[in-house]
Structure 1
C-alpha cells in the first residue's frame, strides 16, 4: 500500500490532548499508553479520536517483490532501520542523515542508536528541521518498536564537501 490522499485538516495529536487533560503523563506518552488508555475508556474513544480530523487514505500498488517495504513518498520502498521521514518543506528526499541518540537503545540491542539513514518519507506530524521518524519495519513487532521511539537525537544532514562549502 502507499499514500493516496489526505483529508486536508491539520494534524491534532490525540496524545497531546490526553496529556492536556491530565489523562497520561507527558513522560509516559507512547503509542502503547494511548492504546491502553483507549482500551480502558471505551465510552470516550470516539470523542478522543474525532479530536484529530486529519485522515490519511491509502491505495494498493502492484509489486513484483512482496518482500519490499511499503512505498515511501519518495516513490521507493522503505527499508527498515535505514529510512527516515522528514519535514518535506525543509528537506529533500534522498539526502543522507546521520542520526545518533544515546538514550534510544531498544532498536540496537541496548546500544545507543547511531547510523546513516536516508530521507525517503514524510508525515504531517513531522515538522521542523531536526525532526524525523524512523521506519522500523512492517508488522506488529515493528509497530511496538516504533511506538516507543520518542528520543532526543543528534540529527545531521550529510552534504558533499563542495556543497557544504557554500554554506560556510
Structure 2
C-alpha cells in the first residue's frame, strides 16, 4: 500500500489555486526557525521514519529511504535533504492526544461481559449505533469478544484500536476495520447542550461516570452518536508494539501523530511545537489519520497504551504550530507554485 501520491497531488492542486484561496499560505522555513530543533533526539525520529518510509509514494522518496536505512547521523540527514514547510489554511491550530485503551473482556458472553465487540459485517452495514446496541447484529457470529462496559467500548471505538484483557490472562489486540457510515457526535457537547455540565467540566472520565450513574439515560446518550466502529483482530501484532495506524504499520508513543493527509503526506517527518501546560517541541512522523483531524494545523499526538496514556492524552487541547519536513525539491516546487 503506497499512501502519499494523492497527498502531493492535493498539495499541488491547493497551491496552484492559492491566489483564489485567501486563507491558504505556504512558507519554507530555515531549521533555525524551529523552536527547540537542536535539543531533540533526532535519532528516535529517524528510527520511526524508516519503519514506514517505503510506503511513501513519489520519485523523491526511495533514495531518501535508502539513505535513512544506512543509519546516518540523524540531525544531519534531515537538515541536508529536507526543508521545513509551514502550511496554514486559516483555521486555528489545534493539538489533541489519543491513546490505545486497555479494557477487560471475555471470549464468550457471561453475566458480567455482555457487550459485544463486533467485526465488520460482510458487505458493511448502515445500521445505527442505537439499532446495533438493541441487537440488530446478534446471532451473526460477528463477536470478537465481550466487554462489561458500553462506555469503555464507545471510547475504544473513538480511539480506533485497543487491547482486551481476557479473564485467562491473555490479551487480544484489535484494530479499526470499518464503520457504519454515520457521523460521529460528541457526547461531551451533548451533555453541555443539555446543561448537565459546563465545558470546563467535561472529560472522558466525567462522561463515563455519568453514564454509569444513569444507565437508561446513559445508553440514550451513547446512542446520540449514530456512528459505530467495527474491529479486526490482530493476532500477529506483538504486545511490545504500538497499534496499527493508517499506514498499516505500528505507531510509536510520542513520535507518531495523526494528521490531515490533504496537507501533510503520510509518512513525512513533522516538526511540532505544541503549547499549553505540557509543551512538546519534537520531530514526529505522520503515520495516522482521524475523522476529526482536519486542517493544515491540526495534529493528534499518540501518547501510548493504557490508563496513564489515556489521562495524558485526554488533557490535551492546545494551540501551537505544525511544520512538515518535505524533500528539498518538493518544498521549493510547492513554494514556487504557491507564489505563482
Name the residue aligned to 1:38: 211
* TM-superposed deviation, 1:21: 2.1
Name the residue aligned to 1:86: 259
Name the residue aligned to 2:287: 120
Moved more, 16-25 or 31-40: 31-40
Give per-residue Cα distances to partners, 1:60-91, cap 9 Å, x unaligned.
12326321111111111010111111224443
Secondary structure in structure 1 of the residue aligned to 2:231: strand
Task: Kindly indicate whether residue 228 of structure 2 is the aligned counterpart of residue 55 of structure 1.
Answer: yes
Partner Cα distance (1:159, 1:28) in 2: 40
Name the residue aligned to 1:99: 272
Out of 138, 156, 168, which is 2:323 matched to?
156
Partner Cα distance (2:265, 2:227) in 1: 24
Name the residue aligned to 1:76: 249
Contact 2:211 2:219 in 1 (8 A): no
Partner Cα distance (2:236, 2:209) in 1: 35
Q: Which has the larger radius of gyration?
A: 2
Out of 15, 19, 23, which is 2:188 matched to?
15
Q: Decide whether aligned partners of structure 1 residues 64 and 138 sit closer, same or farther in structure 2, where only a CA change above 3 A counts.
A: closer
Partner Cα distance (1:90, 1:56) in 2: 25
Task: Kindly indicate whether residue 65 of structure 2 is the aligned counterpart of residue 65 of structure 1.
Answer: no
Partner Cα distance (1:155, 1:33) in 2: 30
Name the residue aligned to 1:108: none
* TM-superposed deviation, 1:45: 0.6
Name the residue aligned to 1:109: none
Partner Cα distance (2:283, 2:256) in 1: 9
In terms of fraction of residues, the more strand-rich structure is: 2
Q: Decide whether aligned partners of structure 1 residues 89 and 116 sit closer, same or farther in structure 2, where only a CA change above 3 A counts.
A: same
User: Normalising by structure 1, what TM-score?
Assistant: 0.85
Relative contact order, higher structure (CA 8 A, sep 6+): 2
Q: Runs of 5+ in structure 2 lacking a partner?
A: 1-173, 336-340
Partner Cα distance (2:192, 2:296) in 1: 25
Secondary structure in structure 2 of the residue aligned to 1:62: coil
Q: Decide whether aligned partners of structure 1 residues 6 and 50 sit closer, same or farther in structure 2, where only a CA change above 3 A counts.
A: same
User: Normalising by structure 2, what TM-score?
Assistant: 0.44
Out of 305, 311, 314, which is 1:144 matched to?
311
Q: Decide whether aligned partners of structure 1 residues 158 and 122 sit closer, same or farther in structure 2, where only a CA change above 3 A counts.
A: same
Corresponding pairs, count = 162
